[in-house]
Amino acid sequence: MPKNPAPSAAESDLPRRDAEPTGAQLTAAAATFALLASPPRLHLVWLITHGSYDVGTLAKRVGISIATVSQHLSKLRLAGVITARRDGRRHLYTVDDPHVVALVDQIFEHIAPDGTLAPDPPQTR
């Protein structure tokens, strides 16, 4: 009996954390990072990971025009980073993907308020 049986067809389709990324994965990841490379767009995503907002509120919070916010939101929706739902006459924008929430939370845990890299937390023994 072999110690490590060959993975089943279903298991072999699952990504391994230590597996080298495919070209398609690298392209998609780079596109996502490029999408988030705009400070106003990243600010919008950060806000939306912390609550549901309409375009007017987002414009006020980020300090840019409603038209510009709408353009950013359209790009984020097309990429699947955010979603929108109707609430009466307005749309509320949210982030439903826990991976996006984790990515945004982790980067801001790593960056100090002054823009420098935050120190690693002390190791407990």
DSSP states along 8-21: PHHHHTSPPTTSPP
Phi, psi of 19 (to 5 degrees): -75, 140
pTM value is 0.79
* Domains in the chain, CATH or no CATH each: 39-116 (1.10.10.10)
- What are the per-10-residue average pLDDT scores of the chain (125 residues)? 53 71 95 95 97 97 98 96 96 95 94 88 75
